[in-house]
């Protein structure tokens, strides 16, 4: 992201990257796959610094989840989404990891 004009900052023990080609790349995805920020371990990618500021509490919950689950986080996250989909629920909003992150976010 830095090579494409993005920026990085260290906040609460994570690297937050934003800008660069990410916004343009996301615009090419189907609407259902777009996001404003995503956490990958101790790295948070955001469309812009305003999104990172707004979503920081939510994304920090995911950082903590990665810390607890380690390499099992991504498979567990995907399995939770698949289970919700099989049960006729929203694979994103009803995912147990997202519920935890939104509960923290609502408690600000």
Q: How do residues 31-66 score in pLDDT, each as one tens digit?
A: 877 889 999 999 999 999 999 999 999 999 999 999
* pLDDT reported for residue 106: 65
Mean pLDDT (whole number) for 82-101: 96
- Model pTM score: 0.88
Pairwise CA distance, residues 25 & 71, whole Å? 26
Does residue 98 have a pLDDT over 90? Answer: yes
Mean pLDDT (whole number) for 61-74: 96
Measure the CA angle with vertex 96, ends 39 and 60; round to 5°.
30
């Amino acid at each position: 992201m830095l090579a494409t004009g993005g920026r990085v900052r260290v906040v609460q023990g994570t690297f937050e990257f934003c800008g660069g080609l990410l916004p343009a790349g996301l615009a090419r995805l189907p609407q259902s796959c777009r996001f404003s920020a995503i956490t990958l371990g101790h790295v948070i990618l955001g469309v812009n610094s305003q999104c990172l500021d707004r979503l920081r509490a939510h994304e920090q919950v995911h950082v903590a989840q990665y810390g607890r689950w380690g390499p099992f986080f991504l498979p567990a996250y995907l399995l939770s989404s698949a289970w919700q989909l099989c049960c006729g629920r929203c694979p994103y909003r009803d995912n147990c990891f997202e519920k935890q992150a939104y509960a923290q976010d609502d408690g600000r």
